[in-house]
């Protein structure tokens, strides 16, 4: 079984009429004859566009597309009348491709478990206080979730709530091999390297150190996004993959197909 892995395709931010990211992604999925495509969040800034894109991929390829919402998919930027992020989360959750609370079994051995994850500032520098992180502002840069995300609870509580749901699902499948998918970063290796004055503050918004108890058997793969790096790590028998396509303006070359081919990881897994 061939599983393609990518995240942060940001089709709206990378929009170019003659070179659509979604068209090129469909071509690559078909070229590689993938059975499954996992997108670890941030398809677009508009959940309706994100869900339509998932439908298109499924219609125009032979593969099953699975996904977890990223913070951008959850934004209300294009739906200012939707006040509560939970409402958008539930719209996304209802889509058949969404992994949240819907473990996806691969034969008898593997199961894919996923959710957005969240941040709780545990990856922040402790020179800043909790109150500093509530502001989400540093040197004229505003963390955009402060404008477009409104959970009915604090970020710390949201992070814990999602941890609880993931833990329950992993416990239920402890005899299987688990592919864990989150949008947020769960391992400090994937943070923006320091020294970096801006990210010394904003790394706090990239994920959480507090999901560490999940990073052991039966979890075998951890798939993440969000940070706009393309990095892999193998540690204690777990393979970590962060395969962010990123914004077009961040690409080394303005060619969507080449960038997708460079970014996409393919896992070949034996199932029975
Ligand atoms: Mn993100």
Residue 170 CA to ligand 1 centre (angstroms):
24
Residue 145 CA to ligand 1 centre (angstroms):
9
* Nearest in space to 184 (alpha carbons), one of 40, 38, 10, 12: 40
Residue 109 CA to ligand 1 centre (angstroms):
30
pTM over 0.85: yes
Residue 183 CA to ligand 1 centre (angstroms):
7
CATH architecture assigned to 2-268: 4-Layer Sandwich (3.60)
Residue 270 CA to ligand 1 centre (angstroms):
31
Rg (CA), the chain: 18
Interval 57-108: pLDDT, tens = 999 999 999 999 999 999 999 999 999 999 999 999 999 999 999 999 999 9
Phi–psi pair at 70, nearest 5 degrees: -90, 175
Residue 105 CA to ligand 1 centre (angstroms):
26
Residue 69 CA to ligand 1 centre (angstroms):
9
Q: Is the pLDDT reported for residue 271 higher than 90? A: no
Residue 167 CA to ligand 1 centre (angstroms):
22
Interval 147-183: pLDDT, tens = 999 999 999 999 999 999 999 999 999 999 999 999 9
Residue 110 CA to ligand 1 centre (angstroms):
26
Residue with tokens 């204690």: 236
In this structure, the dihedral spanned by the alpha carbons of residues 210, 215, 219 and 224, taken in order and rounded to 10 degrees, is 70
Residue 205 CA to ligand 1 centre (angstroms):
10
Residue 13 CA to ligand 1 centre (angstroms):
12
Q: For residue 204, count CB atoms less than 10 angstroms from its CB and return exposed for 0-12, middle for 13-18, buried for 19 or more.
A: buried
């Amino acid at each position: 079984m061939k599983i393609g892995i990518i995240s942060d395709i940001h089709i709206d931010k990378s929009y170019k009429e003659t070179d659509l990211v979604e068209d090129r992604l469909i071509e690559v999925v078909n070229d590689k004859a993938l059975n499954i495509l996992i997108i670890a969040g941030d398809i677009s800034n508009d959940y309706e566009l994100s869900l339509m894109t998932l439908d298109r991929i499924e219609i125009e390829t032979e593969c099953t597309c699975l996904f977890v919402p990223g913070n951008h998919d959850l934004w209300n930027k294009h739906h200012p009348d939707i006040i509560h992020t939970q409402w958008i989360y539930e719209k996304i959750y209802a889509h058949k491709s969404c992994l949240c609370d819907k473990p996806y079994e691969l034969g008898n051995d593997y199961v894919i478990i996923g959710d957005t994850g969240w941040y709780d500032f545990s990856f922040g520098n402790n020179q800043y206080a909790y109150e500093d992180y509530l502001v989400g502002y540093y040197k004229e840069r505003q963390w955009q979730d402060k404008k477009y995300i409104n959970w009915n609870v604090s970020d710390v509580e949201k992070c814990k709530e999602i941890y609880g749901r993931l833990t329950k699902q992993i416990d239920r499948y402890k005899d299987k091999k688990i592919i864990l998918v989150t949008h947020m970063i769960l391992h400090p290796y994937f943070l923006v390297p320091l020294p970096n004055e801006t990210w010394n503050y904003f790394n706090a918004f990239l994920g959480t150190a507090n999901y560490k108890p999940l990073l052991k058997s039966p979890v075998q793969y951890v798939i993440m996004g969000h940070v706009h790096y393309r990095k892999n790590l193998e540690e204690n028998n777990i393979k970590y993959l962060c395969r962010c396509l990123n914004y077009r303006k961040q690409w080394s070359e303005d060619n969507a197909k080449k960038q997708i081919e460079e970014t996409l990881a393919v896992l070949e897994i034996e199932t029975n």
